[in-house]
Amino acid sequence: MRIVEKDFVGWRMNGSNFDSDLNKVKSAISLIENELMVKLPIEFNDYLTLTNDEAIAPIRKKEYCLAKYAQGVRPVRTSVLFPSEQVIEHTKLSQESIYDERYLLPTGLIVIGSNYDGDSDSCIIYDVRPNSPTYLHIFNWRYYVDNVVVSAGLGLLAHSLKAFLSTPTAVDAL
């Protein structure tokens, strides 16, 4: 399903009228695809278009969601969804391993934002690998302790970016 304006009802952004500079957005999409060697799905292109490639954050007091791991669920506080430049920067940093290849993020998993999980910052990971069984899924990655393994090190946040946009809620509603 396509991402539309009403999907951003729970989010704060600088531009409130969804005016987009289409040349800027097309350039951002091309840059991400070329720099990260991926093909972005339509829903991410919709996201970049509707946000005009700017960062967004959940509205205050409704910033929490649950990450589902094999051993249970973990509450996380969503901080921000990144614009294209930060998607590229954070993904490339996460692909570089300095600790015995523990933090190596494979091509096709991209960092689209950040969460706080109670212990430290964590990454919001988006699977853009078309042949993956978790294609389009959104995950929480506790990069400081977890390897990149679905349900073990990657906690499921949502089955799509569109679904994720509707998940942040108040902490007492979890």
Going from N- to C-terminal start, the domains of the chain cover 1-174
Q: Please tell me the distance from the alpha carbon of residue 119 to that of residue 139, in angstroms, as a whole number.
A: 17
Cβ-contact 123, 111 below 8 angstroms? yes
Q: What pLDDT, on the 0 to 100 scale, is given for residue 146?
A: 60
What are the pLDDT digits (tens) for 26-48? Answer: 999 999 999 999 999 999 999 99
Q: Please tell me the distance from the alpha carbon of residue 41 to that of residue 2, in angstroms, as a whole number.
A: 10
CATH 3.40.1580.10 matches 1-174: yes
Cβ-contact 112, 124 below 8 angstroms? yes
Mean pLDDT of the 139-150 span: 73
- Rounded to 10°, the helix 22-36/42-51 angle is 140
Q: Please tell me the distance from the alpha carbon of residue 122 to that of residue 97, in angstroms, as a whole number.
A: 16
Percentage of the chain exceeding pLDDT 90: 72
Averaged confidence pLDDT in the chain: 90
pLDDT band, residue 169 (cuts 50/70/90): very high
Q: What pLDDT, on the 0 to 100 scale, is given for residue 71?
A: 86
Q: What pLDDT, on the 0 to 100 scale, is given for residue 105?
A: 86
Task: Indicate whether this model's pTM tops 0.75.
Answer: yes
- Stated as kind and residue range, the H or E segment containing 93 is helix 84-95
